[in-house]
């Protein structure tokens, strides 16, 4: 397909034909496991009612790790008429929602997909829905029940021409939970995005066997968002924690990205890893991630310092006796006016008469109270968001 469209002279194309050529090229690149987002964007701008137009950019952005673009397309993308496109769009949206931890939305999208199933059964129709349902089971049920549910869903569909594309969209899970199927697929002409997902899945499969060594040299996906299509959220967090455990320099930035772009669902997985992972080094790494990577609190904080000092969380005045402590209000006011400062400067401003040891003890105690007042929902051991020190 790519070879054929490359022989077409762009100057000879008019009307809808440039969009049609981009559509063919985008589909071919996606099938070949190669980046296709730029071509898909041009294709969508043409607004032709071609098959797959509704998800061509969303799926391309998703598979290339461009989460912001994929999320935008989920809710604002072009939706032409056609039951097939709407059916597949619900499935893609369910997969992306699953990967960012929005499992309730994923369930709603899959319910809509089931309602719009085409009028006949078959591999092309059923397999993408089955894979999306299996992926949701892995995220929702975890490592105890999830793998069995995934195996049950894929066992009904042998690898063939009609199933190859959809299986390449789940290569990371296949490499982790169905390695024999992944080995069979690898004999095909897989592209770089396919091989990226295989490498992540195989590293996680080794991790499941108690072997951390492959993480030392494992290829780290770029951009960080590519971890999600390769392993979904649970696997991405495990991959990052394992990388942290073996001192991979990429792990810190990846943990930061997951915490800030995905938020609490990612932190929830890191907590589970810290509490339950059988490899102690990985569990400790997840605990360190929780203690070093801050995440925005669930509600907005407002500080009013003109007139009587007030603090509102989610628009509500705080109900915490510690807020009545004058030194605590002074500390927060000082940090608002001096957002980058030093401990010595704060001690000199708030406890000018105290000796250094007493002032340092007072600052430490007041900082602890400030963290509790500003972030009442923060779990013990989690990094602080508003006041940070290094």
Q: How far apart are CA 66 and CA 210, in angstroms?
A: 31
Which of 249, 381, 376 has its CA nearest to residue 319? 376
Which of 238, 246, 248, 240 has its CA nearest to residue 272? 238
Q: How far apart are CA 53 and CA 44, in angstroms?
A: 7
Q: What is the pLDDT of residue 120?
A: 46
The per-residue pLDDT string of the chain (390 residues; one tens digit each, 9 = 90 and over) reads: 899 988 998 888 888 898 889 999 998 999 899 999 999 998 888 878 887 787 889 999 999 999 999 999 888 876 666 778 888 889 999 999 999 999 999 999 999 988 877 554 554 578 889 899 999 998 988 777 778 888 888 888 888 888 888 888 899 999 999 999 999 988 888 899 999 999 999 999 999 999 999 999 999 999 999 999 999 999 999 999 999 999 999 999 999 899 888 988 998 999 999 999 999 999 999 999 998 877 778 788 898 888 888 889 888 988 888 998 999 999 999 999 999 999 999 999 999 999 999 999 999 999 999 999 999 888 777 788 899 887
Q: What is the pLDDT of residue 81?
A: 63
**DSSP symbols for 93-153:** HHHHHHHTT-HHHHHHHHHHHHHT--SS--HHHHHHHHHHHHHHHHHHHHHHHHHHHHHHH
Q: How far apart are CA 287 and CA 139, in angstroms?
A: 20
Exposed e or buried b for every residue in 28-42, given b needs 16+ CB within 10 A?
bbbebbebbbebbbb
Q: What is the pLDDT of residue 294?
A: 78
Q: What is the pLDDT of residue 202?
A: 95
What tokens does 348 get?
């000199």
CB of 28 within 8 A of CB of 4?
no
């Amino acid at each position: 397909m790519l070879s054929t469209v490359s022989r077409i002279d762009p100057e000879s194309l008019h009307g809808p034909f440039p969009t049609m050529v981009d559509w063919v090229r985008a589909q071919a690149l996606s099938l070949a496991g190669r980046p296709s987002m730029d071509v898909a964007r041009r294709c969508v701008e043409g607004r032709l009612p071609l098959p797959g137009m509704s998800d061509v950019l969303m799926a391309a952005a998703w598979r290339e790790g461009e989460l912001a673009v994929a999320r935008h397309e989920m809710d604002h993308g072009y939706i032409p008429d056609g039951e097939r496109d709407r059916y597949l769009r619900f499935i893609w949206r369910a997969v992306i929602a699953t990967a960012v931890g929005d499992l309730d939305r994923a369930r709603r999208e899959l319910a809509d997909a089931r309602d719009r199933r085409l009028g006949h059964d078959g591999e092309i129709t059923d397999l993408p829905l089955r894979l999306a349902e299996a992926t949701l089971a892995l995220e929702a049920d975890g490592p105890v029940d999830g793998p069995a549910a995934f195996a049950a869903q894929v066992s009904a569909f042998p690898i063939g021409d009609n199933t190859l594309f959809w299986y390449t969209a789940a290569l990371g899970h296949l490499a982790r939970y169905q390695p024999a199927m992944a080995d069979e697929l690898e004999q095909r002409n897989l592209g770089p995005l396919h091989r990226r997902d295989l490498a992540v899945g195989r590293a996680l499969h080794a991790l499941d066997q108690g072997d951390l060594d492959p993480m030392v040299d494992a290829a780290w996906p770029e951009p960080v968002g590519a971890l999600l299509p390769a392993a979904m959220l649970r696997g991405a967090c495990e991959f990052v924690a394992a990388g942290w455990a073996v001192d991979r320099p990429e792990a810190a930035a990846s943990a930061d990205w997951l915490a800030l772009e995905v938020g609490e669902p990612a932190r929830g997985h890191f907590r589970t890893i810290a509490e339950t992972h059988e490899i102690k080094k990985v569990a400790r790494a997840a605990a360190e991630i929780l203690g070093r990577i801050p995440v925005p609190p669930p509600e907005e904080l407002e500080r009013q310092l003109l007139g009587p000092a007030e603090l509102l969380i989610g628009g509500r005045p705080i109900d915490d006796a510690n807020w009545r402590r004058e030194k605590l209000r002074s500390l927060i006011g000082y940090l608002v006016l001096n957002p980058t400062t030093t401990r010595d400067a704060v001690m000199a401003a708030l406890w000018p008469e105290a000796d250094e040891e007493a002032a340092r003890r007072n600052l430490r105690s007041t900082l602890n109270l400030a963290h509790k007042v500003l972030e009442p929902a923060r779990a013990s051991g989690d990094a602080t968001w508003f006041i940070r020190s290094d």
